Amino acid sequence: MTRYRLTIEYDGAGFVGWQRQDNGLSVQRALEDAVFGFCGERAQIYGAGRTDAGVHATGQVAHVDIAKSTTPDTVRDALNAHLRPAPVAVLAAAIVDDTFHARFSATGRRYLYRIVNRRAPLALDAGRAWQVGVPLDAEAMREAAARLLGHHDFTSFRSAACQARSPLKTLDRLDVARSGEEIRMEIAARSFLHNQVRIMAGTLKLVGEGKWSADDVSAALAARDRARGGPTAPPDGLYLAEVRYDGASGGAGQPADDSVDDDF
């Protein structure tokens, strides 16, 4: 049995999310069906982040154990052949030791949230960005975003359905920058709460509209009350961009409150 680490991209619009569910096709199931098509094995795919329906990925990481004697390049190419026409691609495959776990070994995750700030409808980016028609002040959003950096209780930025054991998380990066009509948020942490990134994006949009100030963001954070946080931004603009690991194979670790992500 050989363990393979897979780097994956996908358009989440047509899926019920990463995780297998009874109500439709998931990215996990599409990959597991591709493994079966390739080698006839019913193997389970373990992902680093359990993205919600409509959330995309350019750097999702997963692992799978395959008994068939093969090579990483063959695994990549065969899975891609069996994934068609689903909007999922295995970008790379590598052999790792059996202590590697895509989720528990991860030491950091980076997300991108895209807002297209214009009145005209999205022809090319429909379903892949959040269109906001009213003008947004990206500099005000950037200044307010700094209030969320560091180690905090993020209850106000956590879905009511979140099952994480603790609301305490450490936000390492939350950059906001405008390039033309697009506003991009780069968010990085070891792990996140359910919908944390999307709620932060929805909150900063209020700041960009002039409805909230940076002090309002600080007050929402201090309140530790979901009702005091901003709205949950749509999934369209959210991308799992990168998962980081320490060491050659990542190493296994015991899950802790600030080391395992939930859902996005």
Q: What is the pLDDT of residues 169-218, one digit of tens each?
A: 999 999 999 999 999 999 999 999 999 999 999 999 999 999 999 999 99
Q: Give how far Cα 101 sits from Cα of 59, 70, 96, 254, Å.
A: 16, 21, 9, 10
Tell me which residue of 229, 228, 256, 102 sits closest to 165, measured CA to CA.
256
pLDDT value, residue 22: 87
What's the pLDDT tens digit per position in 47-79? 999 999 999 999 999 999 999 999 999 999 999
What's the pLDDT tens digit per position in 106-135? 999 999 999 999 999 999 999 999 999 999
**Contact call for residues 174 and 205 (beta carbons, < 8 A):** no
Task: Name the percent of the chain in helix, strand, coil, to the closest 5.
Answer: 25, 30, 40
What's the pLDDT tens digit per position in 167-180? 999 999 999 999 99
**Contact call for residues 229 and 220 (beta carbons, < 8 A):** yes
To the query of whether residue 52 is one of the catalytic residues in this protein, the response is yes
Catalytic residue among 52, 236, 262, 263: 52
pLDDT value, residue 188: 98
Regarding predicted confidence, which is higher, 168 or 256?
168
Tell me which residue of 74, 56, 86, 107 sits closest to 4, measured CA to CA.
74
Tell me which residue of 53, 56, 75 sits closest to 10, measured CA to CA.
56
Backbone angles phi, psi at 92, to 5 degrees: -160, 150
Domains plus CATH for the chain? 2-105 (3.30.70.580), 108-242 (3.30.70.660)
pLDDT value, residue 264: 58
pLDDT value, residue 29: 97
Mean residue pLDDT of the chain comes to 94
> Could you tell me the pTM of the whole model?
0.93
